[in-house]
Amino acid sequence: MSNKFIWFKKWVLQRRTIAELSAESNYSVRSLKSLFDTYLQQAPTHKFFPSEQLNLLIDGTYFSNNICLIIYRDNTIKFTQLYRITDGEYYEEIKEDLQNLLAVGIQIDSITCDGHKSILKAVKAVCKQVYLQRCTVHIQRECRTWLTMNPKSIAGLELLSIVHQIHTITTHEQSHDWIKQVLDWHLKYSSFINEKSYSVATNRYWYKHKMVRKAFIHIRNAIPNLFTYLFNPRIPKTTNGLESFFGHLKSHVLIHRGLTKQHRTNFIKWYLYFTNQR
């Protein structure tokens, strides 16, 4: 590796400004900027890491300039097996990515995701035999948003209390008890969440307690894939590992704001390349 390339790697990975690296390297700011621009004109070649029983994390995050990064990360060895830079989370693209992972011989044992419809649909189409785990933190976060931290109804308060228990479940018995709480709640409040209001002016009905109803439906739809991690301790129950990774990446990108869209895109690719080398 050339000496100049080492400074580029430090610039990408260490949240160092060009001015700081100039003082340390004795290269001028102008020389380093020109050099880094040259590297950012191209992207590194991505490599897969052969893996069996892969416990995969899938999630997407967004940057300015309409950039969406979707990552397929090996949770065990903390390795990004594949990524896609696009402008949204689309079923056809995610489906193609999963097919490509299987085509290179990677054996996927489980997939943990936040429940985005495109991801769920793609997993169902390509990885029917793979264990699916819905991110428990995401379920809690969404429900708290809809219910708020101080629900105005007794039904909302009781459902929020149930939601708060998700992260504490470590045994099958506890999961069965939790699901029973959800079913009992629905039996008690089914009329409440199905209650509708009517507007004569618009001649339309709507659910009167739509946020509580929305939270319940979200939980109900997630239940089949909410406690998969209890069958295999290797399966992560959240995508927190990826969210932390995204946070670090975004802090690095923010340090170097002002990059063109092409350079920002290639900066992200170089960051993924260097972190995989670790």
DSSP state of 45: P
Does the pTM surpass 0.75? The reply is: yes
Local confidence pLDDT in tens for the 278 residues of the chain: 468 899 999 999 998 899 999 999 989 999 999 999 999 999 999 988 887 889 999 999 999 889 999 999 999 999 999 999 999 999 999 999 999 999 999 999 999 999 999 999 999 999 999 999 999 999 999 999 999 999 999 999 999 999 999 999 999 999 999 999 999 999 999 999 999 998 777 878 889 999 999 999 999 999 999 999 999 999 999 999 999 999 999 999 999 888 999 999 999 999 999 999 87
Instruction: Give the burial string for 231-247 (b: 16+ CB within 10 Å, else e).
Output: eeeebbbbbbebbebbe
User: Which superfamily does 46-134+240-278 belong to?
Assistant: Ribonuclease H-like superfamily/Ribonuclease H (3.30.420.10)
Nearest to 43 by CA among 263, 275, 250, 276: 263
Give the pLDDT of residue 258.
Answer: 86
Tokens representing residue 63 in the block: 């940057």
Where does residue 1 rank: exposed (0-12), middle (13-18), buried (19+ CB within 10 A)? exposed
Sign of CA dihedral 190, 218, 96, 101: negative
Per the CB < 8 A criterion, the answer to whether 107 and 51 are in contact is: yes
Dist. CA 197–CA 265, nearest whole Å: 48
